Structure 1
Amino acid sequence: MANNDATGTATTPSAKPRRGRRNVIRLVAVLTLLVAGGAAVFAFLPDPSALAAASALSGKTVTTVATGGDHSCALTSDGDVACWGSNNHGQLGINSTTARSLPTAVTTTGTPLSGKTITQVSVNGSHTCALTSDAILACWGDDSHGQIGDGSTSGDHLVPTAVTTASTPLSGKTISAVTTGAAHTCALASDGTLACWGLQTDGRLGNSSSSAADVETPDAVTVSGTALSGLTINAIDAGAAHTCARATSNALVCWGLNTSGQLGDGSTTSSNEAVDVTVSGTPLASLSIAGISAGGAHTCAVSVSGVVACWGENGDNELGNGGTTDSDVPVSPTLAATPIATSTLLSVSSGEKNTCVVATGGAVSCWGNNGVGSVGDNTNTTRDVPTAIVTTGTILSGKSLVLSSVGDRTTCALASDGTPACWGDNTLGKIGDGTTTNRDVATAVITNPSASITAVTGQRSGVLGYGRPGDEIVVDGSWWNGSKASTDFVVTVGGETADQTLETNSTGTLSGGITVPAGAAVGSGSVVITQGTDTVTKSFYVLGSRTITVSPTSGVPGTVVSVSGTNFDPTASAEIRGLTSTSGPTASSDAAVDVTITSGGSVPSTNFTVDDFETVSIEVREKSPGGTPSTDYARAAFTVPPVTVSATAVSGQRSGVTGYGRPTEVLTVTGANWPNDLVSADFTVAFCNTSGASCDSNATKTLATNGSGALSGTVTVPSDATTGARALKVTHDGRSALFNFGVLGTRSVTLSPTSGGLSTPVSVTASNFDPAAFVRIKGVRVLSGPEYSSDSSVPGFTAANGSLSAVNFTVEDALTTYIEVSE
């Protein structure tokens, strides 16, 4: 088990490591890996306090990932190496013995790797080796058996140390490959020379020696008189205590411990010299071998045609053939009814107790011990036949895998886009996800810093993906360089540089806020956080000012209005309602309508019915998660036009007279903007003062409205109507219209004097005549008829109130008995 120091960083007790695994798997028919892009972060996130700084893989493209023993390493396209996991022997190469749970750069300054481009890395046991583009070989970590190869067993090497080649079989040679076992190392030169060093027991060095003494510098693998005689070695792989090679003439050879048949020669006798793997009568017979992989106590090979066979220990189903019986010759894993039944297998990797293959299409299947999830199928059930790893919902979802590396109960894989992931045992932090939690499915090796938006001020709780200029985006994150201030960060939102208060603590935990700048481009965009060479981009939608549009913008009660809008909070719930005041506001009696904002922040076109004549605007207001109205809204004006009424004719009045009349006369009326389809019983009608008060008793009426709200009908002036300046008042449901109407009394004429002789001038006045009417004053002899006298008539005009001011009329006819004023 791993211990935790005060900072939460995983550390490992200084115990002798379990026998290891695994260096990098050999690929079939793929000599160059073209890997582009970076890696994303899987959902398993550690406590940031367990982390020290940014991942050494940040911004880099991973080309190889390898796990073995108690740690893992990755190689990047620019020739750098980063390692993670246990570090009790300095196997991470970081000049300390502090364990790391995320990738940490191997120290190269002042070492043989300084300024070099690393092209290979091999991981096993508690030591690591790397080979550069100019054939420099260096190792680091546990050297208790001389496996570092520098001529000593002086203890742990905390940084890369040159392998001694002078006066060894590798002297003057160009080293082309390196492989590490649990406690030994081997290197292959370009001319086929092979040398091994380290722990010598069980014959794992292949040097024909039966000595148990450690070998501290490269020692030649015996060729003469062995299965290698006359052959040229072109590939090597070291297991826990055995080593295997592929040679010309399609030969497969192995040497070392053989208690489980891992040498594949048909026996369980260990050998300190290379022996032939038996292929005759096995699945590998007559096939061209593309790759070989030596595991804990079993070995596998893959042919150019895609056939895989394994041999050796099978107690944990390492051979994948459905049983648990060891085999000392190659046997095929069971493929029928498995995910790879019809696939061509491209590569194979053997670990301590597991095996994995990569098939065409980039699918990976594994088998063997699964107690800590090393099969990667989201269970802890040991699998005796190939079983597909789970990728759905993981960092590898939808990706094509190009290699796998199986170690000691931990498995790693690399996708074609450079995404590394591991699963299985993580007690020593060797998955590289910043934790020490075992994983049953593929989990991202941390390559880049993370940042998460935890809140957006000005938005409702839980809203994280959008905001408006002036809102503050609250963020946190992990795996950044430690102890950085806001001046070390550059942040843009919507393409505009943003003010921010970001900082990291000593463990690389990010915190702070970012203000959405006024100039941020409205619409789908990003928050981009940059510190040094590290950049994290988070999707963020910048919203503009909320607006709504209503159509039509006016109408009578009952009008159906189409309401739409933009720049609202995406997917928010909202309510459409009418308002009777824009200051307040006061909701109208219109029925509110619920609506859901689209993912783009639009209010979908929604029908809203205006029933309240007092409605002056329509509002769309967002709701809080609890369903109560929030403070976020937009409004648009809506006009309910006033109702109108007017007279078009008055019975008993001359044509064109509409503004006055007498009791019992009938007004023909029209109007507009009333609710549709009303009938007479829906109205009350009275004659009132000109302000609509002090009304007489209700008048008789026959009114109705059509489907457009147009009013028509008649109103009879009550016989007891108050005379004078009045108004016709028509009311429906508390809403009224007035029409000024003068109610006239009985016409009357006053004479002064009322008698006199001829030529007597008479002052004539009158009242309750039609206002502003032309009148003529005449003398009358006899009322019946009437028979007018010979007096000269006098014209006049009534005033606006229907009165006639004093007009002089001269009586000249002795028979005149009456004076008449006629309109």
Structure 2
Amino acid sequence: MVEGKLAEETVEAVSAGFEHVVALTKQGVLYVWGSNDRGQLGTGEDAAYHMVPTQIGGSVFGIKFAHIAAGLKHCIVASKSGEVYAWGANDFGQLGLGDVEDRKNPAAILSKFTRSRISRVAAGAHHSMAVTDNGDIFTWGSNECGQLGYELRSVLGPRFVKFPRKLETIRGSRAYAGFSMSAAIITSGKAFIWGCNGHGQLGIGDDLQRTLPHVLPAPGGVQFATLALGANHVLGVNKNGELYGWGNNDRGQMGLAYTTPMELKPVLISSLLSSDVEVVVTGGYAYEMQGHTLALTATGKLFTWGWNAFGQSGLGNLDLGSATPNRLLEFDPPIQVLSMATGQYNSIISTIRKGVPSIHSWGPNYDGQLGQYP
């Protein structure tokens, strides 16, 4: 159980970075915990970490937030009024503030967003994304793999963008950021994906990098409803509730029982075929970019698989990982899972049972990323 004042709150969303977590309560308040070596907690302090959740105040005290995203060592959040704030590491301009200086406190991104209301944000390792109410998609930060979705004019200059820049090729309703890749679902329901592809993680049939958004194949013509991007792999749920995986599979990231080391196109995770999957989250900042996954079905069943050397699967053991989905029976109904996230080595879920909220986390705790004292 996560400790502190947050344990009394109903948490509607959690997002996990490399070794830090940001949580959003039902009242729109932000809490953070874990590593703070680059100011990624946004508390303005020099403390190396926080062992228990701490509320973010200062310049954002009283502001109600609606959407959150934790990158490798930075955070991007959107308020209910559509403003965007960022803090943490900024060596690639991933904060969108026009420079490469880290921030210990939340800073408002005013440029490019002056007349736009932001409804969703996403954060990768060194890049960030935002979606407006009218479907405009903005990206900024590192473009080493083309994850921003456009070509930079100078091939000899910096490979990053310090201000939000609008994608001119697509408009969408949702944006997703992986370690060095990006994706979006547009208003028609089609999914687009771009960026690094050395392990086939773009799912388009090869391992060639893409700088511009490319259509993600929809098996059987059924479009994807949601995506989860790791470092070298992707999981997607289509509108029928079927779960697909593609990309790197050396630690069973696909839940396909190690059938192949990688998949270049979406493959059905048949062991969950009878389940109507609603939400899936996956990690990817771990050693050699292995990842672990949590998937929640419409009937409230929670599954986990992937790399487990630090117990991040929550199965009560330490091993190289499980290549097939395993059910976490302790979170079956009447417990309702409200939100979940996977970080570098840790997992976290927000639940409610008979009106009583709680937060659970597991994995290592060397930087306080579990939100509890050892």
Q: TM-score, normalised by structure 1?
A: 0.42
Contact 2:67–2:119 (Cα < 8 Å) also in 1: no
Residue equivalent to 1:804: none
Contact 1:363–1:400 (Cα < 8 Å) also in 2: no
Equivalent residue runs for 1:188-337 within 5 Å: 188-209=131-152, 211=155, 212-223=158-169, 228=170, 232-279=171-218, 282=219, 285-323=220-258, 324-335=260-271
2:52 alignment partner, one of 102, 109, 114: 102
1:119 alignment partner, one of 66, 74, 78: 66
Q: Is 1:421–2:324 an aligned residue pair?
A: no
Contact 1:83–1:92 (Cα < 8 Å) also in 2: yes
Q: What do residues 758-796 of structure 1 show as CA deviations (whole Å, max 9, x unaligned)?
A: xxxxxxxxxxxxxxxxxxxxxxxxxxxxxxxxxxxxxxx
Counterparts in 2 of 1:207 and 1:432: CA distance versus 1, 3 Å: same
Aligned length: 359
Contact 1:147–1:185 (Cα < 8 Å) also in 2: yes
Contact 1:149–1:217 (Cα < 8 Å) also in 2: yes
Contact 2:16–2:341 (Cα < 8 Å) also in 1: yes
Residue equivalent to 1:523: none
Offset of residue 397 of structure 1? 8.8
Cα distance in 2 between the residues matched to 1:124 and 1:63: 19
Contact 2:300–2:333 (Cα < 8 Å) also in 1: no
Contact 1:204–1:241 (Cα < 8 Å) also in 2: yes
Q: Is 1:67–2:16 an aligned residue pair?
A: yes
Q: Which one scores higher on RCO, CA 8 angstroms, separation ≥ 6?
A: 2
Q: Is 1:153–2:100 an aligned residue pair?
A: yes
Cα distance in 1 between the residues matched to 2:333 and 2:278: 20
Q: Is 1:57–2:3 an aligned residue pair?
A: no
Contact 1:203–1:255 (Cα < 8 Å) also in 2: yes
1:176 alignment partner, one of 119, 134, 149: 119
Cα distance in 2 between the residues matched to 1:264 and 1:204: 15
Q: Secondary structure at the match of 1:346?
A: strand
Offset of residue 359 of structure 1? 1.1
Q: What do residues 289-312 of structure 1 show as CA deviations (whole Å, max 9, x unaligned)?
A: 221111111111112221111111
Offset of residue 239 of structure 1? 0.4
Q: Residue type matched to 2:239 in 1? A: V
Offset of residue 61 of structure 1? 2.0
2:277 alignment partner, one of 345, 350, 354: 345
Q: Secondary structure at the match of 1:134?
A: coil
Offset of residue 171 of structure 1? 4.0
Q: Residue type matched to 2:314 in 1? A: G
Contact 1:140–1:160 (Cα < 8 Å) also in 2: yes
Equivalent residue runs for 1:671-686 within 5 Å: none
Residue equivalent to 1:367: 305
Unaligned runs of 5+ in 1: 1-40, 43-53, 436-823
Residue equivalent to 2:347: 411
Offset of residue 400 of structure 1? 2.6
Contact 1:197–1:219 (Cα < 8 Å) also in 2: yes
Cα distance in 2 between the residues matched to 1:412 and 1:59: 16
Offset of residue 198 of structure 1? 0.9
Cα distance in 1 between the residues matched to 2:71 and 2:162: 17
Cα distance in 2 between the residues matched to 1:239 and 1:176: 19
Unaligned runs of 5+ in 2: 285-290
Contact 2:35–2:369 (Cα < 8 Å) also in 1: yes
1:163 alignment partner, one of 109, 112, 115: 109
Counterparts in 2 of 1:297 and 1:187: CA distance versus 1, 3 Å: same
Cα distance in 1 between the residues matched to 2:333 and 2:38: 36
Cα distance in 2 between the residues matched to 1:407 and 1:76: 19
Q: Residue type matched to 2:145 in 1? A: D
Q: What do residues 319-340 of structure 1 show as CA deviations (whole Å, max 9, x unaligned)?
A: 11111421121112241xxxx5
Q: Residue type matched to 1:388 in 2? A: R
Cα distance in 1 between the residues matched to 2:269 and 2:368: 31
Q: Residue type matched to 1:342 in 2? A: S
Q: What do residues 2-21 of structure 1 show as CA deviations (whole Å, max 9, x unaligned)?
A: xxxxxxxxxxxxxxxxxxxx
Equivalent residue runs for 1:32-43 within 5 Å: 41=1
Offset of residue 56 of structure 1? 4.2
Q: Residue type matched to 1:195 in 2? A: F
Cα distance in 2 between the residues matched to 1:377 and 1:341: 22
Offset of residue 402 of structure 1? 3.5
Cα distance in 1 between the residues matched to 2:264 and 2:6: 41
Offset of residue 136 of structure 1? 1.0
Cα distance in 2 between the residues matched to 1:321 and 1:199: 32
Equivalent residue runs for 1:470-619 within 5 Å: none
2:369 alignment partner, one of 425, 430, 448: 430
Q: Residue type matched to 1:349 in 2? A: V
2:294 alignment partner, one of 328, 342, 356: 356
Cα distance in 1 between the residues matched to 2:134 and 2:333: 42
Q: Residue type matched to 1:216 in 2? A: K
* Percentage of matched positions with identical amino acids: 25
Cα distance in 2 between the residues matched to 1:137 and 1:367: 34
Residue equivalent to 1:185: 128
Offset of residue 75 of structure 1? 0.7
Q: Residue type matched to 2:166 in 1? A: A
Offset of residue 341 of structure 1? 5.5
Offset of residue 261 of structure 1? 1.0
Contact 2:191–2:223 (Cα < 8 Å) also in 1: no
Q: What do residues 400-449 of structure 1 show as CA deviations (whole Å, max 9, x unaligned)?
A: 323321221211112234322111232221111223xxxxxxxxxxxxxx
Contact 1:261–1:312 (Cα < 8 Å) also in 2: yes
Cα distance in 2 between the residues matched to 1:184 and 1:56: 31
Cα distance in 2 between the residues matched to 1:376 and 1:58: 20
Q: Secondary structure at the match of 1:300?
A: strand
Residue equivalent to 1:513: none
Q: Secondary structure at the match of 2:145?
A: helix
Q: Secondary structure at the match of 2:299?
A: helix
Offset of residue 315 of structure 1? 1.3
Contact 1:56–1:82 (Cα < 8 Å) also in 2: no
Counterparts in 2 of 1:58 and 1:302: CA distance versus 1, 3 Å: closer
Q: Secondary structure at the match of 1:201?
A: coil
Q: TM-score, normalised by structure 2?
A: 0.91
Cα distance in 2 between the residues matched to 1:219 and 1:360: 37
Offset of residue 58 of structure 1? 5.2
Offset of residue 126 of structure 1? 0.4
Q: Residue type matched to 2:263 in 1? A: S
Offset of residue 246 of structure 1? 0.7
Counterparts in 2 of 1:208 and 1:56: CA distance versus 1, 3 Å: farther
Offset of residue 176 of structure 1? 1.0
Q: Secondary structure at the match of 2:188?
A: helix
Contact 1:375–1:411 (Cα < 8 Å) also in 2: yes
Q: Secondary structure at the match of 2:308?
A: coil
Equivalent residue runs for 1:652-801 within 5 Å: none
Q: What do residues 330-358 of structure 1 show as CA deviations (whole Å, max 9, x unaligned)?
A: 112241xxxx5532111111211112210
Contact 1:222–1:274 (Cα < 8 Å) also in 2: no
Contact 2:347–2:362 (Cα < 8 Å) also in 1: yes
Q: Secondary structure at the match of 1:331?
A: strand
Contact 1:164–1:218 (Cα < 8 Å) also in 2: no
Counterparts in 2 of 1:263 and 1:252: CA distance versus 1, 3 Å: same
